């Protein structure tokens, strides 16, 4: 199994840390698979009360590994790891907290729409260049972002690919709290500990109510995924992905 995802425990908190700093935490299929497994195992383990997603200093995640996307765009087999992770996020039974510092692109942004509390540092920038890549929004973001941010900011983020800096994300409601880099993880852990101290059954019911009905979200993820897979095979996507890879050589 990949060591680009580290699973740690801190009391009742399961920490899921993206740890591929040399690629700014771009997510490979193996990384998605390990995160899905961690969510399932944590949900099944009564000693786990909360999941916490973390990245590395300066990079929460640069989004899906674009080499993996390019492989599909040029005829390769995509696998089901991303799809399974998106469903795992939407179906997770226990609260999820995220601590975001720096780069938060693609799934590095949309993952937070599934979290119950997100903490971010002032230097964090959220970005989803789906359309610029010839793609469409994923992870249910086309449903969740307009709710969280309002229609216009969601359009600017998801369709125009405009940066959403941390202070604006806080003002818009994507972030629970802005905290300095040095205390980000402690802030996330403190929130997780507060959650873990609540009566678990009442908390579970309250969270379920806040998220219900789940069916429209699951249906949207399915629809987005179907469109996303189609788009990955498009000339627009292929050209944009090749351009990113060429940029590397330049």
Residues in touch with ligand COA (CB under 6 A): 23-24, 26, 62-67, 103, 105-106, 129-130, 133, 248
Q: In terms of CB distance, is 16 or 66 closer to ligand COA?
A: 66
Residue (77 or 248) nearer to ligand COA, CB: 248
Cis peptide before 204 (omega within 30 of 0): no
Instruction: Provide the minimum distance between the beta carbon of 228 and ligand COA in the complex, in angstroms, as a whole number.
Output: 9
- What is the nearest approach in angstroms of ligand COA to the Cβ of residue 62? 3
DSSP label at residue 164: E
Q: What is the C-alpha to C-alpha distance for residues 30 and 10, in angstroms, rounded to an integer?
A: 24
CA dihedral 123, 144, 139, 60 (to 10 degrees): 10
Residue closest to ligand COA (Cβ): 106
Residue with smaller CB distance to ligand COA, 136 or 191: 136
Minimum distance, C-beta of residue 37 to ligand COA, in the bound complex (Å)? 22
d(CA 152, CA 190): 33
Rounded Cα gap, residues 243 and 238, in angstroms? 8
Write down the least CB distance from residue 223 to ligand COA, Å: 17
- Residues 3 and 7: their CA atoms lie apart, in Å, by 9
Question: Which CB atom, from 5 or from 62, has the smaller least distance to ligand COA?
Answer: 62
């Amino acid at each position: 199994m990949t060591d680009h995802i580290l699973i740690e425990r801190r009391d009742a908190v399961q920490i899921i840390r993206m740890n591929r700093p040399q690629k700014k935490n771009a997510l490979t299929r193996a990384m998605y698979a390990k995160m899905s497994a961690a969510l399932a195992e944590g949900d099944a383990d009564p000693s786990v009360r909360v999941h916490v997603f973390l990245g590395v200093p300066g990079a929460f995640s640069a989004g899906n590994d674009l080499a993996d996307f390019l492989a599909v765009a040029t005829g390769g087999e995509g696998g089901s790891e991303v799809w399974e992770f998106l469903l795992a996020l939407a179906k997770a039974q226990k609260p999820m907290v995220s601590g975001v510092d720096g780069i938060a692109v693609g799934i590095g942004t949309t993952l937070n729409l599934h979290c119950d509390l997100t903490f971010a540092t002032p230097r964090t920038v959220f970005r989803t260049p789906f359309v610029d890549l010839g793609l469409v929004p994923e992870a249910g973001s086309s449903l969740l972002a307009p709710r969280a941010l309002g229609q216009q900011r969601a359009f600017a983020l998801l369709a125009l690919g405009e940066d959403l800096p941390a202070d604006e994300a806080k003002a818009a409601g994507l972030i629970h709290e802005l905290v300095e880099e040095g205390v980000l993880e402690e802030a996330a852990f403190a929130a997780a500990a507060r959650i873990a101290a609540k009566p678990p059954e009442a908390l579970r019911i309250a969270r379920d109510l806040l998220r219900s009905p789940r069916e429209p979200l699951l249906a949207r993820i399915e629809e987005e995924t179907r469109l996303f897979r189609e788009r990955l095979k498009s000339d627009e996507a292929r050209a944009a992905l090749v351009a990113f890879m060429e940029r590397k050589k330049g």
